[in-house]
Amino acid sequence: MKILVTGGTGYIGSHTVVELQNKGFEVVIVDNLSNSSADIVDNIEKITGVRPLLEVFDLTDFDKTMDFFTRHNDIKGVIHFAAYKAVGESVEKPLMYYRNNLVSLMNILESMIANKVENLVFSSSCTVYGQPDELPVSEKAPIKKAESPYGNTKQISEEIIQDSVKAYDVKGIALRYFNPIGAHESALIGELPLGVPNNLVPFITQTAIGIRDQLKVFGDDYPTPDGTPIRDYIHVVDLAKAHVIAVNRMIEGKMKKDFEVFNLGTGKGYSVLEVINAFEKTTGQKLNYKIVERRPGDVIEVWADPTFSNQELGWKAEKGIDEMVLSAWNWEKALRSKNKD
Ligand code: NAD
Ligand code: WQD
């Protein structure tokens, strides 16, 4: 059973390729390597014993995308990760974000429809909820006006898929990720932020290993128990496993509606200071950090109600915060020792 994974050499995509192969799927990756490297395929092969096919091209190129689908006419499902994802950069370069994230999705949908590929799993985000009125946040919560062009691309993408599902022979599942962190236990694949990381955990591990001097904790005057914002951190391997279940659900014709949305979170929130404490405790590393002013645009607190995913997908996040931060640390160490060679 052949699955196309777009963005499959990226962070979440590479972990999903591993889980798909573990379940016996044949995987073809399309990636333009704008935020990843081709040698990830070597590491996927080291983990699973199977080398996925990688085709390097840009999914905003309509002709190349259509040609790809025509050549691979036995694809049963598409898991679409390929996108730009840096919130701050999207504010600086909104058109680059709209073009990349929306044109690639439309090219994929048109190529799927023309080639009778019906099943699309899409990477969405909890960012669509903004600061929810009620916590935990379920899939029924209203979509809030996006805080950034990046967030808006996720909202618009969900709408594009929803409208396409109504008009064509295509089905969609949007998976709304909360905060993916951690790495594969082999430490062969993980997150590879380019330049200075925006996200908390890569910044923590880079500070602990000595690449960054100090972690800045953005505000401790929020209305939360310790004053720092709360998020639902989820292990990337748990997240990857949900994609395998989602694509299987589509292929096996088990969807209840032609467009479905699922939250992928643990249901538990941790504050920034709790994440730092978990990191220090599990790794034995003392972290140099200081409290600074708030970062504009940060929501106070958000965590998932994963009940619907648990019940409908039969999926549940299994790994706790300690395992998440420890695996992120092991990946950081492996990465830096490799770079010294
Ligand atoms: P990533 O940058 O590691 O992976 C994305 C991959 O897509 C990269 O390998 C990149 O080279 C590729 N790509 C980008 N544009 C492309 C194009 N036009 N054509 C071909 N390849 C292209 O990011 P990730 O963290 O693995 O995120 C995967 C998806 O999940 C994205 O859609 C992202 O928006 C979404 N998401 C991520 C998070 C997170 O915190 N990491 C949270 C919610 C949603
Ligand atoms: C987590 C917490 C920061 C860095 C972003 C996107 C979201 C989704 C996931 C894609 C916050 C604090 C962070 C630092 C800090 N991505 N922090 N010092 O902002 O919840 O979500 O990534 O869809 O759309 O917005 O994640 O990891 O950046 O921040 O104190 O150096 O850590 O203030 O409270 P965020 P994050």
Which whole-number Å values give the CA distances from 284 to 176, 280, 326, in the listed order?
33, 5, 10
Q: Is the CB of 313 under 6 A from ligand 2?
A: no
C-beta of residue 120 within 8 angstroms of C-beta of residue 59: no
For the chain, the farthest-separated pair of C-alpha atoms sits apart, in whole angstroms, at 56
338 versus 337: the higher-pLDDT residue is 337
Mean local confidence (pLDDT), 220-245 = 98
Q: 200-231+267-340 has which CATH code?
A: 3.90.25.10
CATH superfamily of 2-181+234-264: NAD(P)-binding Rossmann-like Domain (3.40.50.720)
State which ligand 2 atom lies nearest to the alpha carbon of 147: 25
What are the residue ranges spanned by the domains of the chain? 2-181+234-264, 200-231+267-340
Taking 90 as the threshold, does the pLDDT of residue 21 lie above it? yes
Stated length of the chain: 341
Taking 60 as the threshold, does the pLDDT of residue 341 lie above it? no
| 2-181+234-264 and 200-231+267-340 agree in CATH topology | no
Q: Token pair of 73, please?
A: 């006419």
State which ligand 2 atom lies nearest to the alpha carbon of 217: 30
Q: Tokens 């092991």 map to which residue?
A: 330
Indicate the pLDDT class of residue 194, thresholds 50, 70 and 90: confident
Give yes or no: 150 in active site: yes
Distance 68 CA to ligand 1 centre (A): 20
What is the CB < 6 Å shell around ligand 1? 7, 9-13, 30-36, 58-60, 81-85, 100, 104, 123, 125, 177, 180
Q: Is the CB of 183 under 6 A from ligand 2?
A: no
Choose, from 150, 177, 222, 233, the residue flagged as catalytic.
150
pLDDT at 106: 99
User: Given ligand 2 and candidates 101, 218, 271, 299, which is best to mutate, with the most ligand atoms within 8 Å of its CB?
Assistant: 218
User: pTM higher than 0.85 for the full model?
Assistant: yes
Say how many C-beta atoms besides its own lie within 10 A of residue 126's C-beta.
Answer: 25
Model pLDDT for residues 60-114, shown as the tens digit of each residue = 999 999 999 999 999 999 999 999 999 999 999 999 999 999 999 999 999 999 9
